[in-house]
Amino acid sequence: MATDDQIILARTHLASARNVTVLTGAGISADSGVPTFRGADGLWRTYRAEDLATPEAFARDPRLVWEWYNWRRELITTKSPNPAHDTLVELEQRWTDRMWLITQNVDGLHRTAGSQRLSEIHGNIWKVRCTGCGVISENREIPLPILPTCRLCHALLRPHIVWFGESLWEEDLRRCDEALRACDLFLVIGTSGVVYPAAGFASVAKEVGALVIEINLESTPQSNLVDLSLRGRAKDLVPLLL
């Protein structure tokens, strides 16, 4: 677990930073009770997340995929942001235009907490995208009518999620690269460090001379690369950085 000396050091670095970029992963959402939907947590009926979150699965059986996303939405709506989410909102307000948040999570908890300067690089489960006209809109209906259709062109809607086998959006990648190259402190919270391109973000930050701090329950493939690695839960450690 993180020591008092490590926490004081991390707090000192954060206090003296000029531009901060933050990356969050499943660990920060897990502290709010959100399952990872992969691995042991990912089994729904007899399906794995990896079998449902693909363009091929949606083309083959969109009703099944939407039933799964409806179940996920119903579960996530019972969860609330935790102190780690709230602290990042406070940090954003403190740094105004000098902080950017990148999240791999699709649950929308950062936005619920109040974060505004962020890139949701894997999408947002509360947004839908038309397979016909491409319009993206927010939708918080629970349960969502299956199969949902676009109000503009009546084509089938899909979750606004980056599925397995799909590329991240170019605009998100561009904004992330800008934030990484502008920061002098990169804070990595609750991410396994194995899913690319986010797994390579720490290397980009190091290339431009940024100090990298990692907060995670366990060591990751990035732990040997970072300047300071704090062991523990995001909800416990992140508030201590203020």
Helix (H, G, I), strand (E, B) or coil at 196: coil
Residue 85 designated active-site: no
Number of residues that this document lists for the chain: 242
The answer, yes or no, to whether the previous bond of 197 is cis (omega within 30 of 0) is yes
Say which of 85, 122, 154, 160 is annotated catalytic: 122
215-218 long-range CB contacts below 8 Å, 24 or more apart?
215/2, 215/27, 215/187, 215/188, 215/189, 215/190, 216/27, 216/188, 216/189, 216/190, 216/191, 216/192, 217/27, 217/190
The answer to whether 107 touches 125, Cβ cutoff 8 Å, is yes
Q: Which residues are catalytic?
A: 122
